[in-house]
Amino acid sequence: MSGENTRRLALVTGGGRGIGRAIAREFGKRGFDVAVNYNSSAAAAEELCAEISQAGPGVSARAFKADVSKPEEVKALFKSIEDTMGTVRVLVNNAGITRDNLLMRMKEEEWGAVMAANLNSAFYCTKEAIRGMVKARWGRIVFISSVVGLIGNAGQANYCAAKAGLIGFARSVAREYASKGVTSNVVAPGFIETDMTSVLSENVRSAMMQQIPAGRFGCPEDIARAVCFLASDESDYLTGQVLAIDGGMTMC
């Protein structure tokens, strides 16, 4: 990647673990400054920031605690980042949780918690980030959705609704801000090996594997490389798109 991205600041929500961690690390490798948001994984986020700062010449990385499902914490997060690192040029809305249940048994709390962490968080963070991007006439927003946001999944009505909601939101942002140099795209991962999928049974895993033409589960780095492309100058004319990274599982 060209040196043009040097000194651009990327914020990754939920960057301490899993896919977010790989994205933050990849940004550091490519010369971005990185703000790593975490909620409960403080030690992991701090350790990652030390690693990124040591690896990249002149690259700065800092960890910021915030529960991004809460609007007041998101406001405080952006203020802390602005005060210490500068204006966010790249936002990756990655934070997410699952609370799986069949619809007949799904509690309102399970619905609400998943909406808050996966969808509301993206609204709060994007709203905070957009002004600085418009002012700079350059910005990149990437939403981490899921292939189940495209095709649905039994037992995950809340999660699928939130992930599908991200797509509509991302495309609306794309339409509002394309003329201001801000792109807004969605990455829809398939089955990626992280803590989130480690709880699934061997039966579920082998049923999933049957549906993946590539014959392997994804790793966080598969997602990180695509996110970095969407955050680069190379994707300048690409906005409002959904990129499924799933080893060929969905092809829709």
| Strand ordering across the sheet containing 33-38 | 61-65, 33-38, 9-12, 90-93, 139-144, 182-189, 242-245
Q: Cβ(185)–Cβ(239) under 8 Å?
A: yes
57, exposed or middle or buried, with CB in 10 Å at 0-12, 13-18, 19+? exposed
Stretch that binds ligand NAP, among 1-9, 53-61, 89-97, 122-130 (CB under 6 A): 89-97
**Region 99-138 residues binding ligand NAP, contact defined as CB under 6 A:** 117-118
The b/e string for 7-25 (b: 16+ C-beta within 10 A; e otherwise) is: ebbbbbbbbbbbbbbbbbb
Size of the site for ligand NAP (CB under 6 A): 30
Would you say 16 or 31 has its CB closer to ligand NAP?
16
Encoding tokens for residue 81? 């980042």
**Which of 194, 228, 232, 247 is in the footprint of ligand NAP by CB under 6 A?**
194
Stretch that binds ligand NAP, among 9-17, 83-91, 200-208, 235-243 (CB under 6 A): 9-17
Within 34-156, residue ranges assigned H as helices are 42-55, 71-84, 108-114, 121-136, 148-151
**Which of 5, 39, 183, 184 is in the footprint of ligand NAP by CB under 6 A?**
39
**Which of 177, 189, 226, 247 is in the footprint of ligand NAP by CB under 6 A?**
189
Q: Is 195 in the site for ligand NAP (CB under 6 A)?
A: yes
* Catalytic residue flag (residue 159): yes
Q: Which residue has the tokens 């509002």?
A: 176
Would you say 122 or 130 has its CB closer to ligand NAP?
122
Would you say 31 or 217 has its CB closer to ligand NAP?
217
- Dihedral Cα 236, 171, 167, 244, nearest 10 deg: -30
Distance CA 112, CA 115 (A): 5
Would you say 60 or 118 has its CB closer to ligand NAP?
118
Residues that bind ligand NAP (CB under 6 A): 13-14, 16-20, 37-41, 67-69, 94-97, 117-118, 144, 146, 189, 191-192, 194-197
Q: Annotated active-site positions, please?
A: 159
